[in-house]
Amino acid sequence: MTQSDVLTLITFFIVISGGTYILGEYMYAVFSKNNYTWLKIPSIIEIKFYKIMGINPDEEMNYKEYLSVLLIFNFIGAIVLLFILMAQGILPFNPQHLAGVPFWLAFNTTISFVTNTNWQAYSGENTLSYLSQFSGLTVHNFLSAATGITVLLAFARAFKTKPSHELGNFWVDLTKTLIYLFLPLSIILSIFLISQGVVQTFSPYITATTIEGSKQLIPLGPAASQIAIKQLGTNGGGFFGVNSAHPFENATPFSNFLEMISLLLIPAALPYTFGRLIGSRRQGMIIWSAMAILLITGLGIGLWAEYQGNSALSGLPFMEGKEVRFGITNSVLWGVSTTATANGSVNAMHSSFAPITGMIATINLMLGEIIYGGVGTGLTGMLMYVILTVFITGLMVGRTPEYLGKKIEAREIKLAIITILIPSALILIGSMIASTTQMGLSSLGNKGPHGLMEILYTYSSCSQNNGSAFGGLNANTAFYNSSLGICMLIGRLVSIIFPLAIAGNLAQKKYTPPSLGTFPTDNMLFVTLLIGVILIVGGLTFFPALSLGSIVEHILMQKGILF
Amino acid sequence: MKKDIIISIKYMIASTIILGFAYTIFITFIAQTFFYSRGHGSPIVSNGVVIGSELLAQEFKDPKWFWERPSATKYVTLDDKTNAPVPTGASNYGAINKDLKKEVDERVLAISKDNPAATITNIPPDLLFTSASGLDPHISPEAAYFQISRIAQARNMGSEEKNKLVEMVRTHVEPPQYYLFGMPRVNVLKLNMYLKQYYEQHPDPINNK
């Protein structure tokens, strides 16, 4: 590790920690009901917008109303996107004259972008027109990310001290997230990215005549504007096929740093905002610390494994699938961050990481992307584990489980467990089918234990709405497009419906102030217990599968046995 | 329900207009105004012809030039016959993949043809492994210095000119950006362009071929 690598890591954690405070306070100001004077002018636009849309911003919704509006809106968005993708051949902004996207691929891509997964079974530069990219995918990058945050906001309102059914207004939450958070941050980030060399134009591709006289195709497009929201909204769907490894998507080490910061910044600030919204900064930061410990542990193991070198190849460093400008440290830091959050963009090929580093990335996905996680959904996912932990500690000490003054009872616990288990079941059942049938196995790019990891990673990535890939697997087949589409859809619905149902339940409960009988959830003991529960649940569910994959691969590598 | 559907449709239209069109066009406008070349792929133009992008690797096979890192997808070079581009992509080989070992061994063999002292352990590793994008425009400074002896041989250079080549590489090494980010690196296309111009301006009757 070079000196600048160490400086990058230090700068990275300083910026994330500082950003947690600044952005966390900002989001609190935006989402709380306090009327700050500096928000007066933008709020005129906001109110005007509600009028045009026919939205009554003062209308409160209960959990069923909130959920149904959310689902209707996303469903209509999906239909529009499916139409744009399939009809792109006859629509404008298509300088390369690309044909309409075939149905199964369009189906998969639509679900993928509406569910904030951004799994891509295609390469952008030879499949999608500029119109599909900016009026279809860019829009859903914004909307799916904002949808995730609305779920978290509704969940936070469940801890109001006054019992009621009300969880807020979906349209207001969505609009505020877009106007105050994603749009301004995306504009700033896009401009920085362009200044580094990320392309942004409507011009057609260029054919260059190289020094040696052959022809090279230089792909272009309105990329920077889409990449900005792809990073900020933990979407991760690349404009180009190789995502943020492509020099036009991530041109310099500085653009790389900005993109890494943006993929973690909002998820990291949300626990702080959550703490402020429920009236206890400390409760939010306790969750933040548990996430930080998991992230840094994963990063440490990943870096250690990667710097060991490939002992099956004369100990050479793992430079396959990495870019020189980033080097090993930046690639691992990105790989761990993008799987810990639900982002899923890549700047190096995860499939070519050291086996143990690849396993860390896979574990991050399998745990449900709760280590900061997706915008909104990551924290709600973590809160499911919090509920589980509160329940288990309650059983151990013989007290009624409580969280933030609300009693946790059978219904909440059942729903929380379902939320955690369904994606896990999707991963294991999906992988089982794929690894025992010809239609699953014929897509593999690597043989042996690495092949199993390709399948496990793919189903984890889709079921948990991440979207990154162990790219050796050819997923553009009817079997994978359809089964992964279903996994993405169920995974997303589960992560929205059940937390909202829990929120609806908790909101009606009486607030009981903490007493001697309350198990405190704001100290390091709770952090330890929470991490313990996460690792035990994850370990029990996935250890057998991982031990046949990455662990065997690691041992074979040390013995120099190739597959 | 009906009200929600109507709002949803209106909202979807509004977001397509604002977040799709207006936002993208606004950012494109800024790119055109302030960062014209970068927004258009940082092309390198010589005598009115685009010869490549500063940010993209292109194929060099001739031993006279500095070579790029290997690419799993032929640097998106157009096929001579079909004129169809190869999409970007990576090998995605796992650590214990037999093909990875085979390809690395082949590259060692190819490099040791021009450089008999080369072995798997003393060749800079970035020359043995394909990049993530297949378009990595950089090589490590070691990989650039390593290639000097081959280039000098191919161009019939004397020791004085060889030193000039070393100097050329040295001035083309880019340090980590702002001392903080990334690895030291050499942009191969820029270096080769410089090399090309240098020999066009300093014609040497004996050695310039």
Average pLDDT, chain B: 89
User: Which residue from A53, A183, A352 is facing B11, i.e. has the nearest CB?
Assistant: A53
Full pLDDT tens readout for chain A, 563 residues = 888 999 999 999 999 999 999 999 999 999 987 778 788 888 899 999 999 999 999 999 999 999 999 999 999 999 999 999 999 999 999 888 889 999 989 999 999 999 999 988 888 888 899 999 999 999 999 999 999 999 999 999 999 888 888 999 999 999 999 999 999 999 999 999 999 999 999 999 888 999 998 888 898 999 999 999 999 999 988 898 889 999 999 999 999 999 999 999 999 999 999 999 999 999 999 999 999 999 999 999 999 999 999 999 989 999 999 999 999 999 999 999 999 998 999 999 999 999 999 999 999 999 999 999 889 899 999 999 999 999 999 888 888 888 998 999 999 999 999 999 999 999 999 999 999 999 999 989 888 999 999 999 999 999 999 988 888 888 889 899 999 999 999 999 999 999 999 999 999 999 988 887 788 888 999 999 999 999 999 889 999 999 999 999 999 999 999 98
pLDDT at B209: 42
A194 and B60 within 8 Å at the Cβ level: the answer is no
A247 and B9 within 8 Å at the Cβ level: the answer is no
**Set of chain A residues whose Cβ sits within 8 Å of the Cβ of B20:** 134-136, 138-139
A212 and B60 within 8 Å at the Cβ level: the answer is yes
Output the six-digit token pair for A174. 């969505």
B138 and A126 within 8 Å at the Cβ level: the answer is no
pLDDT at B208: 45
pLDDT band at B157 (very low <50, low <70, confident <90, very high): confident
pLDDT band at B109 (very low <50, low <70, confident <90, very high): very high
- With tokens 């790219």, the residue in question is A471
User: Which residue from B27, B90, B138 is facing A324, i.e. has the nearest CB?
Assistant: B138
The answer for A530, left when phi > 0, alpha when psi is -120 to 50, beta otherwise, is: alpha
Given a cut of 50, whether residue B205 has pLDDT beyond it is: no
- With tokens 């700047």, the residue in question is A347
Output the six-digit token pair for A226. 């889409």
**Set of chain B residues whose Cβ sits within 8 Å of the Cβ of A209:** 49-51
pLDDT band at B87 (very low <50, low <70, confident <90, very high): low
CA-to-CA dists, residue A292 to A13, A270, A531, angstroms? 10, 13, 11
β-bridge pairing A215-218 and A206-209: antiparallel
pLDDT band at B28 (very low <50, low <70, confident <90, very high): very high
Q: What is the DSSP letter of A316?
A: B
> So where are chain B's domains?
1-34, 42-201
CA-to-CA dists, residue A332 to A298, A348, A364, A479, B56, angstroms? 10, 8, 13, 31, 23
Output the six-digit token pair for A556. 């074979």
pLDDT at A39: 82
- pLDDT tens column, B93-104: 999 999 999 999
B39 and A310 within 8 Å at the Cβ level: the answer is no
* Mean pLDDT, residues B45-62: 92
Question: Rounded to whole angstroms, how far apart are CA atoms A337 and A324?
Answer: 20
User: Which residue from B31, B38, B88 is facing A125, i.e. has the nearest CB?
Assistant: B88
Nearest-neighbour CA in chain B from A4: distance (Å): 5
pTM of the model: 0.94
Indicate if ipTM > 0.85.
Answer: yes
CB A312 within 8 A of CB A352: no
A445 and B24 within 8 Å at the Cβ level: the answer is no
A319 and B85 within 8 Å at the Cβ level: the answer is no
User: Which residue from B19, B50, B95 is facing A557, i.e. has the nearest CB?
Assistant: B95
The answer for A339, left when phi > 0, alpha when psi is -120 to 50, beta otherwise, is: alpha
- With tokens 């929470």, the residue in question is A530
* Mean pLDDT, residues B51-78: 90
pLDDT at A451: 94
Given a cut of 70, whether residue B27 has pLDDT beyond it is: yes
Residue A403, strand partner residues = A406
Given a cut of 60, whether residue B207 has pLDDT beyond it is: no
A177: Cβ contacts below 8 Å, ≥ 6 apart: A145, A146, A149, A150
